[in-house]
Chain A
Amino acid sequence: MPPRFVALLAACAFAALPALAAAPELQLVIRDHLFFPSVLEVPAGVKVRIVIDNQDPTPEEFESYELNREKVIPGNTKTVVFIGPLAPGEYPFFGEFNVRTAQGKVIAR
Chain B
Amino acid sequence: MTALLIIVPIAVAWALTVRFFWKAGAWLPYFVIGATGMAFLTIFMMRDILPGEDALRIATAFLVHHASWFMGIHTELLRPETGDLMIVGVPHHNEWTRLSIGIECSGLLETAALLGLVTFFPAVPKGKRMRLLFFALALTFLANVIRMLVIVGAVAYGGQAALEIAHVVFGRLVFFLLTIGIYWFAITRPTLATVGARLKASA
Partners in one complex: no
